[in-house]
Structure 1
Amino acid sequence: MQRLRSLPFLLCFGLARSPTPSPLFESTILYGQMLSSPWTPLPSNSPELVEIVEMVTANGLRRGDSSIVFDETGKPASPTITDPRKMKLHWTRDSRTAAYTHVTDMTSDGGQLTRQKRLVIFGLLYALTLLWPTRDGVHVHNVVATKDREKAFHIYQHTYYFDKDKSVGDGEECSDDGCDDVDQDSGLLSKLFKKGANHNTLTLATYNLWNFNSYEDGIRLRQFGKLCRSSNADIFGFQEVRYDFSQRNYKGPSQVHHLELELQQYQYVYQPAMLYPVEKFGRVEEGVAIFSRYPIVNHSYILLPRNSKDSADFHQRICLHAEVKTPMLGSVHVYVTHLSLSERSRLTSVIEIGNFMKMHSGPKVLMGDMNAEPHSDSIRYLTGKISINGTKMKGLVDAWTTLHAEPRPGAPGAYRENEPRDHGLTFSTLEDNLVKRIDFILVDLDGKASIEEVDLLDDGVRYDEVASDHLGVKATLTVLSPEKK
């Protein structure tokens, strides 16, 4: 049984605290094979924080973000930094103690050889909130960054919104349902609406990035980004997003940064699920991400059950949640996951995900690479068709089958020779034909919207030149009864 971690409220202003990048439930690990260590407060004038603020400001200027405030000289103003913290990242084999100890031989003045042991740090994690006040309110930026062993910083989470009714120094807390006075225009939406964006629809997409496979020259990344942009999705859920210390040739080791360059009008939350130590100090980690055009005002994640003795369940899995404030539906709760290759693990994971989703009210969307087909028990549980161990959840709606027939999987004998495969299969683009549907968008719209359109992200390319080994899925929702703004 997981125990609920006592989390600080998300503050919307003044003493704003960024959502803690730790599991929602108490755990000895931060994520797979990474220890959960104490957070250490930092002085706001620390050199590390200055470098992070410079990165955030430069990123905002590059995308033309109006939430970056300028001073009277025309230069970017310095923000107020609140609640800055850092954590040391240690690898663990047993989920309890740090595994690597760096042994250093030292010779004393007397010529005696001594041996000193030091815990190896795979990197550092920083969490902070930046406040840019204006006459009309405060631009609030929540940031999580990591520093690698090469002393380079990488932004893992950057969310922001405009709090139009507060000023720096206020201390009121948001409720569990978020901040009612958050202005949905985070500095970018007015540009989108001027381009004729539909105020009554919301488009979501899920896509497996396929980590760094076939990635050396950046062509695949550009294909992937082009497909994402062509979908015109407002919110993306990505899986297999990596940091890989060895990938220094194309735009650096962080795929979060690569996605941020391709989707410059989006804010984002990335959460690693698993650390893969390579050689002695090499840091490789993989997880999931949520990118949104609209303000992400809260986020959290849970560690899903894992049996490390099961070879099909080697990877730690998570479910990442973000509360997104949208102009058309208000708060929408988005969950992204990448389920285990083990069906036994998937069955326990979907129960945990269902319980996690019960913690939030309003429209909900679960999407990701489920590694399971529609007829599997794990998907049937999520859609309310069966119970597991006496537990049954309110069924989510499979967006694909609301508008399309269920595609036949590519099992032997299912298709005649050279017969085109049914529309809707999503895996694998590396084969002659797609064989199964394992990527899903599942919704509980709380009576506020309907599914207007569902389609695939597919440029028709196959084999070695694909954007991903999966196809993406997108769904467009139409508002039924607009909320009062």
Structure 2
Amino acid sequence: MKAQRWMMKYVVLLWISNVMNLCGGFLREDFGNVLRQDVKSVSPTDSDVDEVIKYAQQYTRKRYPWSIPNEKIDPEITNLNKKLLIYSHDNRAPLYYDDEVTDRSGAMYGITRFITLGKIYDFSLTWKENMIKFCHSFTLSVSQKDQINIYVHTFYLRSLNNSNPNSGLEHYLFPKVGSSYFKYFANSEHSGQYSFSQEFSHLKMPEEKFQETFSKTSGAGPEVLEEKTISVGKDGSFKHLKVMSYNIWHMSSKSTRVGGYTERMARLKQAILKADADVIALQEVRYEEVKGENLGPCQIHMLSEWLPQYQYVFQPAQMQLNTPYEGRTEEGVAIMSKYPILSHDSLMLFINRSNSADTHQRVLLQADIFVPSVGMVHIFNTHLSLSHEAREKSVVQIWNRVNQVKGPAIVFGDLNAEPHEPAMQYLRGKAEFPGTERSGLIDVWSKKHPNDKGFTFNTLEKNLTKRIDYIFYRGDDQCCEIEDCYIPDDGGRSYNAASDHLPLMAVLSLKTKTLKPDAEPS
């Protein structure tokens, strides 16, 4: 019997190896404690792919009916990728465990399994109608229990009616912040220079012509449009951008009774809605299969329900260690924006797994948003390690990444370090590490309030004692002036706190661009 069990294990391991080769060969590190396997030959007609694409379309039609054309038009599906997620303790090999199975005759066999976590699907959907290109990008997570959650949803509309095709410009339609319809017209170059028309051409149309042209496309009628137009930025003028950094304390609650988490989330929701930021950078955002009470296990889904006017990107940093025995639990950071997110990326930061203070993988999330009259603004969000060593190496990685982009760059995060510590001295441009370039970031709080301690942590205690939450901007002529920086505090402490952190807010003035003569609409 023992020999039979080992033979069965050997056969199963060979089967696993063959499946891996068919699916895409070797495993790759995806994020903390997760290996991914890229699936080869993925087709939109695959039953599982077709299901998630239909889910994404239904979600979009319900949430943003004006951003998607007539249902009779099928989208073009591009950038389609599928990957399997497999649990790992060390990001090198899957975690296997022994199990037993019984065949029809009642004989028992030993079997080796690995812990699968579900699948991730990435894809873009594009429609074309009435010289408008509707572009939506998604990342969908499907758990082992077939729960579908949208981790990324970004979109924009692009005009195909280029009045000056030789200009080399791409023409985009973007929404006014807070409105429910794309009304403003912008042109962008890959070089990072931007120009803008003064009004969306359909506002000049007679109402009958407008209804004929657009009512079939977006579901938005003239009643939702404002008659005013957006002014063109001039050199030396500024546009305000209100931003927030907030650690939301994942799914914890000081109250251990049923309903305690839901009550805390109600306070958190009130704090976020009251802030009304244009861009929100969130830390400690979770998917936790066995928690969430009536709000569900996926916090980015909950947040997107609260904030329907925002696009969003959620990037897990680590699959938590309780996953094998309590169910899938992943934590990371998110960026939510009222302005269109045109692209996003992430960077896994340094980790020393032999250091007991450095048990969590950390990530830097980047989202590139388009702000009318300004152009591309690069948003970075992170949550740094409890390890001094990891923080000092991570801040160098962060500055190196920020320094690669052109245009305004803003960095947010719970950095788990106070201003006097070496990592923060480096990031604030006050010190250098051997062999590194000095950071060009400016600490918004200390520049605006040099004599104020700016404590944001810990609201679970009677008194706040630390400043570990930050907003930085790159201090060059491509960015910003500080209009305001403040810490909204509702006074909630202990059981009445919305989170263990207070949010940090800033209002920045970004330089606008001049309208280029060759980009003016005809």
Amino acid at match of 1:88: L
Q: How far, CA to CA, are the matches of 2:357 and 2:50 in structure 1?
A: 43
Query: 1:184 is matched with which residue: 168, 174, 178?
Result: 174
- Give matches, 1:128-147, under 5 Å: 128-147=123-142
Q: Does 1:120 align with 2:115?
A: yes
Alignment match, 2:90: 94
- Give matches, 1:138-287, under 5 Å: 138-165=133-160, 180-185=170-175, 188=181, 190=183, 200-214=239-253, 216=260, 218-247=262-291, 249-278=293-322, 279-280=324-325, 282-287=327-332
Alignment match, 1:342: 387
The farther-off stretch of 455-464 and 266-275 is 455-464
Contact 2:241 2:508 in 1 (8 A): yes
Q: How far, CA to CA, are the matches of 1:478 and 1:321 in structure 2?
A: 20
Q: Does 1:68 align with 2:68?
A: yes
Alignment match, 1:304: 349
Q: How far, CA to CA, are the matches of 2:262 and 2:31 in structure 1?
A: 29
Q: How far, CA to CA, are the matches of 2:226 and 2:277 in structure 1?
A: 14
Quickly say closer, same or farther: Cα 1:258–1:458, change in 2 above 3 A: same
Tell me the alpha carbon deviations over residues 203-252 of structure 1, each in whole angstroms, 9 at most, x when there is no partner.
11110010001275522222212222222211111000001010252221
Q: Does 1:49 align with 2:49?
A: yes
Quickly say closer, same or farther: Cα 1:102–1:256, change in 2 above 3 A: farther
Q: State the secondary structure of the residue aligned to 2:37.
A: coil
Alignment match, 2:206: none
Quickly say closer, same or farther: Cα 1:402–1:123, change in 2 above 3 A: same
- Give matches, 1:392-431, under 5 Å: 392-408=437-453, 424-431=454-461
- Give matches, 1:465-484, under 5 Å: 465-484=496-515
After superposition, the CA RMSD in angstroms is 2.7
- Give matches, 1:324-363, under 5 Å: 324-363=369-408
Quickly say closer, same or farther: Cα 1:248–1:444, change in 2 above 3 A: closer
Contact 1:122 1:281 in 2 (8 A): no
Query: 1:433 is matched with which residue: 451, 459, 463?
Result: 463
Q: State the secondary structure of the residue aligned to 2:500.
A: coil
Structure 1 residue runs of 4 or more that deviate by more than 6 Å after TM superposition: 191-199
Q: State the secondary structure of the residue aligned to 1:461.
A: coil
Which structure 1 residue ranges, 5 or more long, are not aligned? 1-26, 168-174, 409-423
Quickly say closer, same or farther: Cα 1:458–1:440, change in 2 above 3 A: same
Alignment match, 2:188: none
Amino acid at match of 1:319: L
Q: How far, CA to CA, are the matches of 2:315 and 2:448 in structure 1?
A: 32
Contact 1:67 1:132 in 2 (8 A): no
Aligned residues: 429
Q: CA deviation at 1:183?
A: 3.0
Alignment match, 1:383: 428
Q: How far, CA to CA, are the matches of 1:433 and 1:115 in structure 2?
A: 56
Query: 1:320 is matched with which residue: 339, 344, 365?
Result: 365
Q: CA deviation at 1:386?
A: 0.5
Quickly say closer, same or farther: Cα 1:385–1:180, change in 2 above 3 A: farther
Quickly say closer, same or farther: Cα 1:357–1:51, change in 2 above 3 A: same
Q: Does 1:456 align with 2:495?
A: no
Q: How far, CA to CA, are the matches of 1:329 and 1:38 in structure 2?
A: 38
Tell me the alpha carbon deviations over residues 67-124 of structure 1, each in whole angstroms, 9 at most, x when there is no partner.
122246xxxx543322322111001123221113463423366x65433333331111
Contact 1:41 1:84 in 2 (8 A): no
Which structure 2 residue ranges, 5 or more long, are not aligned? 1-26, 163-167, 184-223, 232-237, 254-258, 517-522
Q: State the secondary structure of the residue aligned to 1:87.
A: strand
Alignment match, 1:172: none
Contact 2:426 2:439 in 1 (8 A): no
Amino acid at match of 1:164: S
Quickly say closer, same or farther: Cα 1:102–1:70, change in 2 above 3 A: farther
Amino acid at match of 1:334: I
The farther-off stretch of 41-50 and 191-200 is 191-200
The farther-off stretch of 29-38 and 98-107 is 98-107
Amino acid at match of 2:424: I
Contact 1:371 1:438 in 2 (8 A): yes
Q: Kindly name which structure, 1 or 2, has the bigger radius of gyration based on alpha carbons.
A: 2
Q: How far, CA to CA, are the matches of 1:124 and 1:211 in structure 2?
A: 22
Q: How far, CA to CA, are the matches of 1:119 and 1:243 in structure 2?
A: 21
Quickly say closer, same or farther: Cα 1:372–1:248, change in 2 above 3 A: closer
Q: State the secondary structure of the residue aligned to 1:66.
A: helix
Q: How far, CA to CA, are the matches of 2:252 and 2:300 in structure 1?
A: 15
Amino acid at match of 2:134: H
Amino acid at match of 2:47: P
Contact 1:188 1:265 in 2 (8 A): no
Amino acid at match of 2:402: M
Q: CA deviation at 1:194?
A: 7.7
User: Aligned residues: percent identity?
Assistant: 33
Q: How far, CA to CA, are the matches of 2:460 and 2:230 in structure 1?
A: 35
Alignment match, 2:474: 444
Q: State the secondary structure of the residue aligned to 2:48.
A: helix
Q: How far, CA to CA, are the matches of 1:380 and 1:197 in structure 2?
A: 41
Report the TM-score, using the length of structure 2 for normalisation.
Answer: 0.76
Amino acid at match of 2:90: D
Quickly say closer, same or farther: Cα 1:248–1:375, change in 2 above 3 A: closer
Amino acid at match of 1:134: E
Q: CA deviation at 1:47?
A: 3.3
Q: CA deviation at 1:143?
A: 0.4
The farther-off stretch of 445-454 and 241-250 is 445-454
Q: How far, CA to CA, are the matches of 1:193 and 1:225 in structure 2?
A: 29
